[in-house]
Structure 1
Amino acid sequence: MLGFVIIVSAWQLASSLGLMQPGLLPTPGEVGRVLVEGLWSGNLLNDLLISSRRVVIGVTIGMAAAIPIGFALGWFPRARVTFNPLVNFFRALPPIALVPLVVIYFGIGEVAREVILVYAAFFATIIVVYEGIGGIEEKYVRAGRTLGAGRLELFTRVVLPLSTPHIFTAARISLGIGWSSLVAAELVAAQDGLGAAIQNASNYLDVPTMYAGIILIGAAALAMDLAIRVTASRVLRWQDRGER
C-alpha cells in the first residue's frame, strides 16, 4: 500500500499547491466522492461490470486461439522461423489503429469491440507461449526420451507442465493489454463501459469522472492480475523457484 500512499499524497500536494489551472487537477477527495456516488448509484458499477465482462471474454477467446499456435511455433522450429516475422508484424500494430477497419468489417456492435480485445490478447499470448516452449531446457526433453517417452507422452509429461508457468504469464500480460486496449474497443460507438464513461466525461470536461474511470480500470486490472497470481501459486506448487 505504501506506493499508493505516496502517489495519493503527491497528488494531494500538487492539487493543493495549484500547480495546474483550476478545475484541471481535482483533489483525491473529489475523485473519491465521484467514485463512491457512481458506485452507489450503479452508474460506474454497471460500467465496471460491462468492461470487465468484455475484457474477460476477449482475452479468453484470444488466448484459447493463440495457445495452440504458440505451442506449434515453439515445438516446430521451421514453423517458428516461417511465421515469427508475421507474428511480430501484427503484434506491433496498436489496436486503436484498427478501429476504422473493425467498424467497416464488423459494424459498431458488441462484436466489433470484442474483436479488438481478442486481437490484443491473441498475439501477446503467442509470443509468450512460443518463447516459453522454445526456452525449455534440452536436458528435460532428452531425459524424457531416455526414459522411453514417445512424442505424445513427451508433450503431455514434459512440455505441457514446463509451459504452464508461461501460460499464466501470458494470461497476466494479455489481461494488461486487454485493459489498456479497452478504451480503443469502447470507442466503437459504445454507450456503456468505463472507456465510454471516460470519453463522455471528457466531452464535458468532467475531470473527476475521468479520473474515477481511470482508477476503476487500474483497480479491476490489479484485482484480475492478483487472482491469476494466486491461482498460479496454487497450480505451480511443484515449481522450484530457488532462493531469492
Structure 2
Amino acid sequence: MAKFSDGTLLTAVWASLSRILIGYTIGTALAILIGSLMGWFRYVEYVFDPIVECMRPVPPLAYIPLIILWIGIGEESRILVLVITSFVVCIVPTFSGMKQVPKVYVEAARTLGASEATIFYKVAIPFAVPFIFAGMRVGMAASWATLVAAELVAAQSGLGYMLQAGRRFFDTSLVMVGIFCIGVLAFIMDRIFRTIQVRMSRWEEVSK
C-alpha cells in the first residue's frame, strides 16, 4: 500500500493526465481545423486527403520507433504519439460532418445575404458539431490506449509505467489500481464531452 500512500499514485495519474491533455488538445485542434477546411474547400481536400488516408491504416504505436529515432525518448515523443493518434481519429468524423451539411441550409443562408465565411462559421460548423464530438470522444479513448502502451515502452512515470512496475514485481494491487484509474479518468472525461456536446447541439432539438 506504500505506493498509494506516499503520493506515487497521484504522481502517476498527473503524469499521464498532463500528457493526455497536451497531446490530445493539439491533435484534436489540428483535426478540427484541417478536417473542417477539407470538408468545405475542395482544394484543401485535394492536398490533405492523400496524407490522411495514408496515415489512417498505420497504428499510432508504429510511429514510436521513428519518433524515438528523430527526437529521442523524452516527453516530447510521448506527446507527439498522442497528437498523431487524436488527429487521425478525429479528422475523419469532422470531414464527414462538413460534407453532410444540407445544401438547403447553405442556399437559404446565401439567399439571406450571408457571406461564405458566415456560412462556414454559422451554418456548416454548427451542423458538424455532433460529428466533431463523436470523433473527439473516440479520439480520447484511443489516446488513453496509445498513451498507456507508449508508457509501457519508454517512460519513467505515468499509469502505463506503473502497470509495468506492477507486472515486474508481481504486484496485483498496483496493476488493478492502475487499470481502475485509467477507466475512471477516461469515463469522467467522456462525460464532460457529452455534457458539452448536449449544450452545443441544442439547435438539433429545436430543428426537430
TM-score, normalised relative to structure 2: 0.90
* Residue 182 of structure 1: how far off its partner (Å): 1.0
- Superposition map of 1:105-184 within 5 A: 105-184=70-149
Matched-pair contact (CA < 8 Å) for 1:99–1:184: no
Counting aligned pairs with the same residue, the percent is 38
Partner residue of 1:227? 192
- Alignment of 1:45 onto 2:10: yes
- Superposition map of 1:186-225 within 5 A: 186-225=151-190
- Alignment of 1:101 onto 2:101: no
Of 70, 95, 104, 2:35 maps to 70
Distance 1:179 1:40 in 2: 25
Partner residue of 1:91? 56
Distance 2:121 2:207 in 1: 25
CA 1:241–1:127: 2 relative to 1, 3 Å? farther
* Residue 242 of structure 1: how far off its partner (Å): 8.2
Amino acid aligned to 1:68: L
Matched-pair contact (CA < 8 Å) for 1:114–1:185: no
Larger proportion of helix: 2
Aligned residues: 208
What do residues 96-147 of structure 1 show as CA deviations (whole Å, max 9, x unaligned)?
2121111111111110110110110111121111011011112111111122
Unaligned runs of 5+ in 1: 1-33
TM-score, normalised relative to structure 1: 0.78
SS at match of 2:204: coil
Distance 2:22 2:153 in 1: 17
Matched-pair contact (CA < 8 Å) for 2:36–2:125: no
Distance 1:95 1:179 in 2: 12
Distance 2:75 2:59 in 1: 20
Matched-pair contact (CA < 8 Å) for 1:38–1:45: no
Q: Which shows bigger deviation, 39-48 or 95-104? A: 39-48
CA 1:203–1:131: 2 relative to 1, 3 Å? same
Amino acid aligned to 2:146: S
CA 1:111–1:188: 2 relative to 1, 3 Å? farther
Amino acid aligned to 1:140: Y
What do residues 81-107 of structure 1 show as CA deviations (whole Å, max 9, x unaligned)?
554343132122112212111111111
CA 1:211–1:71: 2 relative to 1, 3 Å? same
